[in-house]
């Protein structure tokens, strides 16, 4: 089973904490022991936002800001690489072809961003599409996909299950509300829709939730089940 795990920067490294990064690495190593081929995509979190905010004040243009963001995602990816030990790529994969090659060689792929004007949400979906993953898991700082931003709206409801079309609609609605943050962005939702990628969005603050979701399909987040995909047990490692 091929799995792509997209880990938000604010989930992997809200502040620098070796134990937290190790806990994610342990989960990935356990999946590898189960026989999974794994790619991890790592976000930039608050550090990326701080750099981008400061560089914006200094007059950097949007592409330069994106490049800064990409550099920070790759720094976080290097932290995870440091924690993973052997059988892992030595530096973050810089594009999808490199990611595919690493996985073909049987190693764990770790990467951050790849190109300006997107986020690692889209990278996760694109690399999952590229390597033909069976499952894409977003380990985010929110517990799933909600009808509105749960931090802003107390009536926001979590969806247990969505089709890919519904995901696109919900995310498009959320992105229209300035300031409200969606757990995955619209480009990622569109890629999930076109690839028919089976996807789970969950609270990654406890990384063992990722393990439970991949192994048994059990989680308290949101299942994205594109048309034509079932919930057959073949998706799960055991």
Pairing relation of β-strands 161-162 and 199-203?
unpaired
Extract the tokens encoding 109: 């792929």
Q: Which of 53, 85, 116, 132 binds ligand UTP (CB under 6 A)?
A: 116
For 170, half-sphere exposure in the C-beta direction (CA atoms, 13 angstrom radius) is 26
Q: Is 127 in the site for ligand UTP (CB under 6 A)?
A: no
DSSP per-residue string spanning 213-235: HHHHS--SSEEE--TT----GGG
Q: Which of residues 28-47 bind ligand UTP (CB under 6 A)?
A: 43-45
Q: Is 144 in the site for ligand UTP (CB under 6 A)?
A: no
Q: Is 124 in the site for ligand UTP (CB under 6 A)?
A: no
Per the DSSP assignment, residues forming a β-bridge with 42 are 7
Q: Is 5 in the site for ligand UTP (CB under 6 A)?
A: no
Q: Which of 3, 25, 38, 69 binds ligand UTP (CB under 6 A)?
A: 69
Q: Which of 8, 143, 221, 226 binds ligand UTP (CB under 6 A)?
A: 8
**How far apart are CB 182 and ligand UTP at their closest, in Å?**
9
DSSP per-residue string spanning 116-135: SSS-HHHHHHHHHHHHT-SE
Contact residues for ligand UTP (CB under 6 A)? Answer: 8-10, 43-45, 48, 65-66, 69-70, 73, 113-121, 123
């Amino acid at each position: 089973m091929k799995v792509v795990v997209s880990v938000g920067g604010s989930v992997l490294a809200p502040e620098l904490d070796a134990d937290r990064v190790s806990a994610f690495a342990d989960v990935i190593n356990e999946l590898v022991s189960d026989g999974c081929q794994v790619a991890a995509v790592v976000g930039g979190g608050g550090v990326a936002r701080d750099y981008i905010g400061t560089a914006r004040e200094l007059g950097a243009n949007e592409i330069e800001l994106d490049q800064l963001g990409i550099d920070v995602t790759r720094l976080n990816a290097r932290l995870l690489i440091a924690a993973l030990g052997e059988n892992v790529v030595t530096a973050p994969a810089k594009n999808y072809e490199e990611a595919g090659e690493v996985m073909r060689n049987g190693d764990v792929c770790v990467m951050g961003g790849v190109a300006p004007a997107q986020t690692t949400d889209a990278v996760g979906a694109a690399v999952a599409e590229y390597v033909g993953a069976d499952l894409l898991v977003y380990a985010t700082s929110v517990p799933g996909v909600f009808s509105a931003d749960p931090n802003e709206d107390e009536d926001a409801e979590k969806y247990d299950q969505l089709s890919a079309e519904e995901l696109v609609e919900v995310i498009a609605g959320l992105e229209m509300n300035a300031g409200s943050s969606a757990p995955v962005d619209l480009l990622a939702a569109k890629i999930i829709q076109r690839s028919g990628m089976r996807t789970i969005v969950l609270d990654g603050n406890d990384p063992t939730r990722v393990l439970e979701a991949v192994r048994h399909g059990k989680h308290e987040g949101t299942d994205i089940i594109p048309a034509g995909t079932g919930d057959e047990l073949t998706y799960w490692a055991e």
